[in-house]
Amino acid sequence: GGKFCTKNERMTFSIRSRSAFALLVIGVIVSTVYFVFLHFMGDVQVEFNSQTLNAVATPHGWNTETELQIPLVVHHTWKRSTSPPGELVRWRQGCMKLNSEYQFVMYNDEDLLAFTRQHYQNYLPMFEHLHGVYMADMARVLLAYHYGGIYMDLDFYCHRPFRCLLKHVEKLIHEQSDTGLHRRLSNSTTHTHSPNSQNKTHSVSTVVPKHVLVVSREPLAHAVLFRNKTRVVIQDFYLSTPKHPFFLWLLNDRWEEFTRSSAFNPTTPKVNGTTHSMSGGSVAVAGAHAEKPAFRKGPFSYSIEKDIDRYWQYKKDRAVGGSASASKDKQSKSETAEDDVIIELHEDLMHPLVDSTNPRLQSSCAEYKKAGAEPVGSTLATARKQVCKDMEASRYFKPTKHTLMVHMWTHVYLGWSSARGVYNSWTYHTVESTLPPTRECF
């Protein structure tokens, strides 16, 4: 009882199929050409910082609209002395136009090595042991500690000027000055840490902390679905005063790990004949015959939320004395008394794009649904439910009126595939058209 297609109908179907295929091929070719143009055709070459390291050695002031003494310098790194891909150059230029009072400095690998040799000989063996992006991850910590200012990855898009961020950070600090900077604020746009907040009450004051560090978070979707957490802090953005104690703690923590590993050569010359530790003493180095663990491939890479928590615990332990020695106890209290704060910005301010090309997003949500509901009232369960709801609706880009910047997540270090590049180029166009540059603060 089936009906067979006539010869004309078969011919018509064949023509339509071929036409559709041809249009698809043309679309892919045009999109690929467009992507290649955006990716490789940077209209202005980036000037690198070779032989001008001293240009940022003396910060040239800070924004006078706030009390935050954040130097007006932005640090960028790129592995080679050639220009980065076109879209990165375009976003960098956009940030420069919005923040003309800032000095933008670009370092390549040779610059970073020269900087470390000049200023941080005590960490040089560890620095030289690292390669590629892992070396650059350590370098950004050194730059932020030494100069302060802003370090940010090249794939940040600026929607508003940095002064808007500074004003917001100062506002957060002042709003908490009557009760102390709580270790974890309930403010929806922040996650602020400060030691000893439960045992210390400040009177109302307009004086900001001596040391301020602002960091950003990975998308909540990544944290919940990939790492089973509600909070992941990555090293893609630092805004800080010079010499923030957290950076020194982090460097010394990794140095101690390095000296205990098989990568460390005990015969390597050390500054003042000893190795530096976070407590100001020397680090015991095992004999050459001892079996040592391997050093991590990327000790400064990935997330640092655990390090931030460990840092506050370290400060708390030293504040209560932790030693029978009166002199050491005095040193601990003096060290802990340093006024410092770390502010983690929520993603509605520093908005990170969700990596929607990652198939684990959908598969993780499917596994979550299959496993059944989590305990009622669980923070992680609530977050996972909302994230999966967003994933089902393809809501990967959710800016708000408070959005200052967007982290485009280009993953340049992973290389580029044509299909992924075409998709991302469309996403970038959406971001830039939705959030055009503006000098107005929210």
In DSSP notation, 201-244 reads -PPS--PPPSEEEEEEE--HHHHHHHHS-S--EEEEEEEE-TT-
Residue entry with tokens 């601990």: 332
- Cα 80 to Cα 92: distance, rounded to the nearest angstrom: 16
The C-alpha angle with vertex 355 and arms to 354 and 356, in degrees rounded to 5, equals 95
Q: In what order do the strands lie in the sheet with 340-345?
A: 103-107, 73-77, 149-152, 233-240, 211-217, 340-345, 190-193
Among 136, 147, 80, CA closest to 112 = 136
The burial of 363, by beta-carbon neighbours within 10 Å (0-12 exposed, 13-18 middle, 19 or more buried), is given as exposed
Q: Please check whether residue 235 is in contact with residue 304, taking contact to mean a CB–CB distance below 8 angstroms.
A: yes
State the first-to-last Cα distance of the chain, in angstroms, to the nearest integer.
Answer: 69
Using the Cα atoms of residue 94, residue 113, residue 304 and residue 317 in order, give the sign of their dihedral: negative
How would DSSP label each residue in 302-335? Answer: SB-HHHHHHHHHHHHHHHT--SS-HHHHHHHHHH
Cβ atoms of 240 and 169 within 8 Å: the answer is: no
Q: Are 218 and 153 in contact (CB under 8 A)?
A: no
388: phi > 0 → left, psi -120 to 50 → alpha, else beta; which? Answer: alpha
- Kind of pairing, strands 211-217 and 233-240? antiparallel
Pairing of strands 405-407, 350-352: parallel
Tokens 């015959």, residue?
289
pLDDT tens string, the chain, 442 residues long: the values are 555 556 565 565 566 666 666 666 665 565 555 545 544 444 445 555 544 444 444 556 778 888 899 999 999 999 877 788 888 999 999 999 999 999 999 999 999 999 999 999 999 999 999 988 899 999 999 999 999 999 999 999 999 999 999 999 999 888 875 444 433 333 333 444 444 443 333 333 456 788 999 999 999 999 999 999 999 998 999 999 999 999 999 999 999 999 999 888 876 544 433 444 333 334 444 444 457 888 988 899 889 999 999 999 999 888 876 543 333 343 344 444 458 999 999 888 999 998 877 888 888 888 887 776 565 568 888 899 899 999 889 888 999 999 999 999 876 544 444 455 556 788 899 999 999 999 999 8
By DSSP bridging, strand 340-345 and strand 233-240 are: unpaired
Helices (H), 218-325: 220-227, 245-259, 305-319
Q: Which helix (H) or strand (E) holds 350?
A: strand 350-352
Give the span between the Cα atoms of 220 and 353, in whole angstroms.
10
Question: 310 CB contacts (<8 Å, ≥6 apart)?
Answer: 253
The 8-class DSSP code of residue 297 comes to S
In terms of Cβ atoms closer than 10 Å to its own Cβ (0-12, 13-18, 19+), residue 441 is middle
User: Which among 246, 247, 327, 341 is positioned nearest to 281, based on CA atoms?
Assistant: 327
pLDDT of residue 40: 47
Partners of 214 in beta bridges: 239, 343
Residue 125: count of CB within 10 angstroms of its CB: 18
Q: What is the pLDDT of residue 263?
A: 87
Q: In angstroms, rounded to a whole number, what is the distance separating the alpha carbons of residues 251 and 52?
A: 25
- Contact present, 280 and 318 (Cβ < 8 Å): no
Residue 135 contacts residue 147 (beta carbons within 8 Å): no
Token output for 399: 């800016």
Q: Given this model, what pLDDT does residue 371 score?
A: 76
Distance CA 260, CA 116 (A): 22
| CA-wise closest residue to 431 among 410, 417, 413 | 410
Amino acid at 71: P
Looking at residue 85, its amino acid is: P
Single-letter code of the amino acid located at 117: R
Beta-carbon contacts of residue 219 (< 8 Å; ≥ 6 apart) = 347, 352, 353, 354, 355
Q: What is the pLDDT of residue 24?
A: 60
Give the HSE-up count for residue 346: Cα atoms under 13 Å, Cβ half-sphere. Answer: 16
pTM given for the model:
0.78
